[in-house]
Amino acid sequence: MVFCLSRYFHKLKGQLVANKKTYTIDPGLISATAFVPTDSLGALYENVVFLELLRRRDYEQSFDAVFFWQGKNCEVDFITRTKNRFQSAIQVSLDLTRPETREREKKALIAAHKDLKVGRYTIITESIEETWHESGIQISIVPLWKWLWQAPVPPRTS
């Protein structure tokens, strides 16, 4: 019913002892079982993205592992990795209209780039679609529905 996502560390010991983020197998469980009632659509979006990343990992096998990453005063929601190569850094932010939110999301992805040298940088939003160029990286901003739609469908087994 619950999945735990490890924080990425360069050493395995750090991953084992660090706090983990939790996600549910059904996003509806967040509202139904929360200690404090939440109307956070952002938390639901993040849970949906996590579940889709698990599906892509298992069906497409285009990456081996998913982590979250923390730097100094910033966090990236999801980092995907194959062997020793980081493929994507993904932030989930419902709304980027506030300047402080835009800066926070950019700052986290730029910090991850400096530490991990990830291949793709994405921010998943409710409705914004554009591309930013910051500090030598390209950041794609895409609505959740489009990011989900771009995912290949696994082959049917009869």
The CATH number for 59's domain is 3.40.1350
Question: What is the token pair recorded at 2?
Answer: 């619950």
The answer to the question of residue 157 being in a domain is no
Domain holding 108, by residue range, is 2-149
β-bridge mates for residue 124, sequence order: 92, 142
Tally the domains of the chain: 1
Q: What is the pLDDT of residues 15-71, one digit of tens each?
A: 666 688 888 888 777 666 555 555 578 888 999 999 999 999 988 887 899 999 999
The answer to the question of residue 129 being in a domain is yes
Instruction: Kindly report whether the global pTM for this prediction surpasses the value 0.95.
Output: no
**Residues 66 and 79 sit within 8 Å (Cβ to Cβ):** yes
Give the E-state strand segments of the chain in sequence order: 2-5, 21-24, 65-71, 74-82, 85-92, 120-125, 130-134, 137-143
Within 13 Å and on the Cβ side, how many CA atoms surround 66? Answer: 23
